[in-house]
Structure 1
Amino acid sequence: SPDEAGQLLLEENLAAARWRAGRGRGRLPAGRLLTYRHRPVEDWEPVEVLKAVHAYSHATADSPGWAGSAAHRFTVDVAHAAAQHLPGYAEAPWRWRRPSRPGVPVGLCGTWRPDVADISWTTPTELLQRWAHADAVVLTSEVLEQLPAKLPTRSGPVYLLTRPGGLTPHQWELAGLLGQALLVELPTAAAWLQEQLQPDIGVPQRSPRAGMDHTWVRLRPRPS
């Protein structure tokens, strides 16, 4: 009943007041109530209910038995119910997905510039400036010599493009500095690469399977 719920909250609040008073952090109010009687209140907005729950929780959290108590569980349930009545709550999506970040991948190439659309080919200096935040980074194997030994941390994909024949032993060693890069052999994997570079994808969408017509490898130190 409302009287029982109110009494539960009152007793937990008094327990917190006693705990603080016993440590010199306040005193019990004179003429304090020991019995709760419910008096209806009309026209409370959901946000006002939430604020009242937060204020009560702040005032009662010092109670030694607050965590996991019936009063604590009751306030959590009230706050949950009030939140569901906030304006716009029912219309908001249940699941949230991070918005895609449309952007042109940044690339660095040498004398060989692969015929891949939607890449902003740039200079080594500008590449390093954009390395950490570019949606995708595309490199050709011949520019590995131009990269510093220590690169900034990045979370987006790095695609290392090679021609048939793959990497030389020295290029394998340099490629190991890229960490989790993707080795892509052209022209075999051109269509797959173009798919990955679409603005609303940005990260590899599928793993290699037997029979697929592209090379897809996470770079690791080359076996000796």
Structure 2
Amino acid sequence: MKNLLFFFLLCSYQVCAQADTTRSVHKEALKPIESDLTPSYGRYGQGVKIQYVYDGLDVRHAKDLGQYIYASGDPNAIHEFERYMGSRHAGGWLIAGGVLTSAVGLGVALANDHSGEASKGPYYAVATVMPNGTVCAGYCNSVPDRTNPTAVKAGVTTLFSGLLVAAIGAWMLRPGQHLRRSVQYYNRSLKQQGILWQLTPYSSGSNSGVGLAGRF
């Protein structure tokens, strides 16, 4: 039992300890974020998931898109991405809380279930005098069942409630509509940048001056 509780605590710690770190990217080097629908294989069958692609490479974790979105400086894209990250963090805490709740419920249920200790003893169809002088009829030397049904039921209910909360948390970790909108704002901001015209000094042979240069 102690080992099981330690395992639950370790899982909860790992979920809460995940760091969402990003590295800085220069705005001038940004490229569009693409997305593809790819097959996803699970225990219960096959489905599809959104796979984000940057510069021709699959993005392993959706949260890693933050380095590009923040670098774009687009307020709408950043706002939607922060809402996605907020949901992600809340989901992580729900998973940790759900796992701990399930561990507590399991402990309560096991601590109050003594059905394995109960024993009816041998059965005597007629009254029989035992070696110690007692008379037994029916079951003798029985060990009563000390199980507390109310506590066991409460423990099982707590166990499944925790699992449900953890499942909701896991669902909140998935990239959703906020991340999709963030990527859409990001790509639109790149398109809206267009051509940036600026004055640039130049020199050519005996001529020099200031010219108008365009940067795509």
When the two structures are superposed, what TM-score results if normalisation uses the length of structure 1? 0.20
* Structure with a larger share of its residues in helix: 2
* Higher CA-based Rg: 2
The one of the two structures with greater contact order (alpha-carbon pairs below 8 A, sep at least 6) is 2
* Structure with a larger share of its residues in strand: 2
